[in-house]
Structure 1
Amino acid sequence: MKKILSLVFILCSITAFGQRNWNGKFEQMDNMLPTPNQYRTGSGEPGPAYWQQKADYKIKVELDDENQRITGSEVITYYNNSPSELRYLWIQLDQNVREQNSFSSQAGTSRLPATVSQVGTVQAQRALGDTGFDGGFKLMAVKDTKGNDLQYLVNRTMMKITLPEPLASGGSFSFNIDWWYNVNDRAVIGGRSGYEYFKEDGNYLYTIAQFYPRMAVYDDFNGWQNKQFMGSGEFALTFGDFEVEITVPADHIVGSTGMLQNPKDVLTKQEARRFEQAKKSFDKPVIIVTQEEAEAKEKKKASRKSTWVYHAENVRDFAFASSRKFIWDAQAVKVGENTPLAMSYYPKEGNPLWERESTKAVVNTLINYSEMTIDYPYPVAISVHAASIGMEYPMICFNFGRPRPDGTYDDFIKTRMVYVIVHEVGHNFFPMIINSDERQWAWMDEGLDSFLEYLTMKKYYPELPYNSNSPEAIVPYMKGSKDFMRPIMTNPEQSLQLGPEAYSKPSAALVVLREQVMGPELFDQAFKEYARRWAFKHPKPADFFRTMEDASAVDLDWFWKGWFYTTDNVDVEVADVKWFKVAGEQKNLESRVNAQGGNLGENAGENDGNPFYGQPQEFKLTDSRVGSEYRSEVDNEAIRERFAGKNVYQMTFKNNGGLITPLVLEWTYKDGSKEIERIPAEIWRRNEQQVTKLFVKEKEVDSVVFDPFKQLADVDMENNVFPPKGKNSRFDTFKKDGN
Structure 2
Amino acid sequence: MKQLLLASGLLLSLAAPVLAQENIDKSKFRQLGQELPTPNTYRTASGAPGHEYWQQRADYTIKAELNDDNQSLTGSETITYTNLSPDVLTYLWVQLDQNIFEKNSITNLTRTSKIPDKPTFGVAEALAEQTFDGGYKIKAVKDANGRALPYVINATMMRIDLPQPLKPKQSVKFSIDWFNYINDQRKQGGRGGYEFFPEDGNYEYQMAQWFPRMAVYDDVNGWQHKQFLGTGEFALPFGDYKVSLTVPADHVVASTGELQNTDVLTSTQRSRLAQAQKANKPVLIVTPEEALKAEKSKAKGKKTWTFVAKDVRDFAWASSRKFIWDAMNVNYAGKNTMAMSFYPKEGNPLWGQYSTEVVAHTIKVYSKYTIDYPYPVAISVHGAVGGMEYPMLSFNGGRPEKDGSYTERTKYGMISVIIHEVGHNFFPMIINSDERQWTWMDEGLNTFVQYLAEQEWQRDYPSSRGEARNMVTYMKMDKSLQQPIMTNSESITQLGNNAYGKPATALNILRETVLGRKLFDYAFKEYCRRWAFKHPMPADFFRTMEDASGTDLDWFWRGWFYTTDHVEQELIGVRWYSVDTRNPQVENTRRRAEINAAPKSLSQQRNLQDIPKTLVDVKPELNDFYNTYDPLAVTEESKAQYQKYLQSLNPEERALLEKGLNFYEVGIKNNGGLVMPVVMQMTFQDGTNQIVRIPAEIWRYNDQEITKVFVTEKPVASFMLDPFQETADIDMSNNAYPQRPQPSRFELFKEQPRGITPNPLQQQMQRQGTARPQTN
Q: Distance in 2 between matches of 1:304 and 1:442?
A: 43
Find the counterpart in structure 2 of residue 332 from structure 1.
Answer: 329
**How far 1:647 moved relative to its partner?**
1.1
Residues of 1 paired with 2:25 and 2:147: CA distance?
A: 65
Contact 1:382 1:396 (C-alpha < 8 Å) held by counterparts: yes
Instruction: Give the match for residue 385 of structure 1.
Output: 382
Q: Write the distance in 2 (CA, Å) between the matches of 1:143 and 1:390.
A: 35
AA in 2 matched with 1:212: F
Judge conservation of contact 1:131–1:189 (CA < 8 Å) in 2: no
Per-residue Cα deviation, 1:201-223 (whole angstroms, up to 9, x for no partner): 00001110101000000000110
Q: Aligned pair 1:504/2:501, yes or no?
A: yes
Query: What's the secondary structure of 1:294's corresponding residue?
Result: helix
Q: Is the 8 A contact 1:151 1:162 kept in 2?
A: yes
Output the amino acid matched with 1:641: A
The alignment status of 1:682 with 2:697, answered yes or no, reads yes
Change over 3 Å in CA distance of 1:562–1:588 after alignment to 2: farther
Q: SS of the counterpart of 1:451? A: helix
Kept in 1: contact 2:65–2:245 (CA 8 A)? yes
The residue aligned with 2:175 is 176
CA deviation profile, 1:602-655 (whole Å, cap 9, x unmatched): xx9889xxxxxxxxxxxxxx99xxxxxxxxxx9744134225311111111100
Deviation at 1:709, TM superposition (A): 1.4
Aligned to 2:738: 723
700-709 vs 510-519, which moves further: 700-709
**Helix, strand or coil at the partner of 2:44:** coil
490 and 434 in structure 1: CA distance in 2 versus 1, 3 angstrom threshold: same
- 1:363 equivalent in structure 2: 360
| Aligned partners of 1:185 and 1:196 also within 8 Å | yes
Letter in 1 for 2:336: T
Counterpart pick for 2:678 among 663, 678, 686 = 663
1:712: which partner in 2? 727
Deviations 1:283-313 (CA, angstroms, capped at 9, x unpaired):
2111111111111110011111000000000
Cα RMSD (Å) of the superposition?
A: 2.4
Change in 2 beyond 3 A, CA 1:251/1:587: farther
Partner AA of 1:44 in structure 2: G
Write the letter of the residue equivalent to 2:162.
L
**Residue 17 of structure 1: how far off its partner (Å):** 11
TM-superposed CA distance for 1:109, in Å, is 2.2
Equivalent residue for 2:718?
A: 703
Tell me which residue corresponds to 2:198.
199
- Structure-1 residue corresponding to 2:407: 410
Q: Alpha-carbon deviation of 1:672? A: 1.3
In 2, distance between residues paired with 1:158 and 1:700? 70
1:267 corresponding residue in structure 2: 265
Q: 1:587 to 1:364 in 2, by over 3 A?
A: farther
Query: Is residue 217 of structure 2 the alignment partner of residue 214 of structure 1?
Result: no
Aligned: 1:534 with 2:534: no
Q: Which is greater in Rg?
A: 2
Q: Is the 8 A contact 1:208 1:320 kept in 2?
A: yes
Partner in structure 2 of residue 693 of structure 1: 708
Counterparts in 2 of 1:463 and 1:659: CA distance versus 1, 3 Å: closer
Whether the 8 Å CA contact 1:87–1:162 is kept in 2: the answer is yes
* Pair 1:492 & 2:489 matched: yes
CA distance in 2 between counterparts of 1:448 and 1:411 reads 26
Query: How many corresponding residue pairs?
Result: 680
Q: Structure 1 593/138 Cα, relative in aligned 2: closer, same or farther at 3 Å?
A: farther
In the other structure, the counterpart of 1:228 is 227
Q: Residue 127 and residue 554 in structure 1: after superposition, are their counterparts in 2 closer, same or farther (change >3 A)?
A: farther
Q: State the match for 2:61 in structure 1.
A: 58
Q: Is the 8 A contact 2:19 2:701 kept in 1?
A: no
SS in 2 for 1:188: helix
- Partners of 2:192 and 2:385 within 8 A in 1: no
Q: Does the aligned pair in 2 maintain the 1:388–1:401 contact within 8 Å?
A: no
Q: Secondary structure at the match of 2:707?
A: strand
Quick check: 2:216–2:237 contact (8 Å CA) kept in 1? yes
Q: Is the 8 A contact 2:573 2:666 kept in 1?
A: yes
Show CA shifts across 1:393-413 (max 9, x none).
000000011111100123221
Instruction: For residue 335 of structure 1, report the CA deviation from its aligned partner.
Output: 1.6
Superposed CA offset, 1:338-364 (max 9, x none) = 101000000000001101000111011
Aligned amino acid, residue 690 of structure 2: E
1:601 maps to which residue? none
Q: How many Å apart are 1:16 and its aligned residue? A: 7.1
Q: What secondary structure does 1:187 align onto?
A: helix
Per the TM alignment, residue 131 of structure 1 is displaced from its structure 2 partner at its CA by 2.5
| Pair 1:57–1:307, CA change in 2 (3 A) | same
Give the C-alpha shift of residue 465 in structure 1: 2.9
Q: Pairwise mapping of residues 394-543 of structure 1 onto structure 2 (< 5 A)?
A: 394-462=391-459, 464-543=461-540
Indicate if the aligned counterparts of 1:412 and 1:465 stay in contact, CA closer than 8 A.
no
Q: Distance in 2 between matches of 1:636 and 1:658?
A: 46
The TM-score, its normalising length taken from structure 2, stands at 0.85
Q: Decide whether the 8 Å contact of 1:43 with 1:550 is kept in 2.
A: yes
Give the 3 Å change call, closer, same or farther, for CA 224–605 of structure 1 in structure 2: farther
The alignment partner of 1:334 has SS state of: strand
Alpha-carbon separation, structure 1, partners of 2:439 and 2:333: 30
The answer for unaligned runs of 5 or more in structure 1 is 1-12, 599-603, 608-621, 624-633, 735-739
Query: Which digits, 9 at most, give the CA deviation of each residue in 1:660-701, with x for residues without a partner?
Result: 111112221111112222111111111101111011112111
Q: Deviation digits for residues 300-331 of structure 1, max 9, x if unmatched?
A: 11111000000000000000010000000001
Given residue 85 of structure 2, which amino acid in structure 1 is its aligned partner? S
Q: Secondary structure at the match of 2:319?
A: strand
Give the whole-Å Cα distance in 2 for the aligned partners of 1:147 and 1:605.
Answer: 102
Residue 27 of structure 2: SS of its match in structure 1?
A: coil
4+ runs deviating over 6 angstroms: 13-18, 588-594, 604-607
Q: Which amino acid aligns with 1:158?
A: M
Distance in 2, matches of 1:345 and 1:351, equals 11
Structure 1 CA distance for aligned equivalents of residues 428 and 464 of structure 2: 24
- 1:443 positional shift: 0.1
Please state how far the C-alpha of 1:725 moved relative to its aligned partner. 3.8
The CA distance in 2 between the partners of 1:450 and 1:124, in whole Å, is 37
- Say if 1:263 and 1:272, in contact at 8 Å, map to a contact too: yes
Structure 2 SS opposite 1:545: helix
2-side partners of 1:606 and 1:299: how far apart? Answer: 89
Counterpart of 2:667 in structure 1: which amino acid?
A: T
* Separation (CA, whole Å) in 1 of partners of 2:649 and 2:292: 88
Q: Which residue of 1 aligns with 2:758?
A: none
Structure 1 residues 471, 165: closer, same or farther in 2, change over 3 A?
Answer: same
1:475, 1:714 within 8 Å by CA — same for their partners in 2? yes
CA distance, structure 1, for counterparts of residue 237 and residue 653 of structure 2? 66
- Sort the Cα spacing of 1:315 and 1:198 in 2 relative to 1 into closer, same or farther, 3 A: same
Distance 1:667 1:71, change over 3 A: same
Aligned to 2:297, the other structure's residue is in SS state coil
Contact 1:256 1:321 in 2 (8 A): yes
In structure 2, stretches of 5+ residues that fail to align are 1-16, 601-640, 643-647, 746-776
Determine the structure 2 residue equivalent to 1:117. Answer: 118
* Letter of the 1:370 counterpart: S
Which of residues 274, 281, 287 in structure 1 aligns to 2:284?
287
**1:641 is matched with which residue?**
655
Give the percent of matched residue pairs that are identical in Structure 1 and Structure 2: 55
The residue matched to 2:358 in structure 1 has which SS?
A: helix
Contact 1:23 1:688 in 2 (8 A): no
Indicate conservation of the 8 Å contact 1:192/1:389, yes or no.
Answer: no
Give the counterpart of 1:322 among 300, 319, 322.
Answer: 319
Larger mean Cα displacement after TM superposition, 23-32 or 374-383: 23-32
Matched to 2:668, the amino acid is: F
Q: Is the 8 A contact 1:22 1:687 kept in 2?
A: no
TM-aligned CA deviation for residue 31 of structure 1: 1.9
SS for the counterpart of 1:339 is strand
Q: Deviations over 1:121-145 (max 9, x none)?
A: 3x545545x3311000000000112
The alpha-carbon distance between structure 1 residues 723 and 231, as it changes in their structure 2 partners (threshold 3 A), is: same
The equivalent residue for 1:615 is none
- Greater RCO, 1 or 2 (C-alpha within 8 Å, sep 6+): 2
Letter in 2 for 1:389: G
Rounded Cα–Cα distance in structure 2 between residues aligned with 1:272 and 1:298: 21
Find the counterpart in structure 2 of residue 737 from structure 1: none
Q: TM-score, normalised by structure 1?
A: 0.89
- Report the CA distance shift for 1:660/1:589 in structure 2 as closer, same or farther (over 3 A): farther
Cα pair 1:22 1:688 within 8 Å, conserved: no
Secondary structure in 2 aligned to 1:333? strand
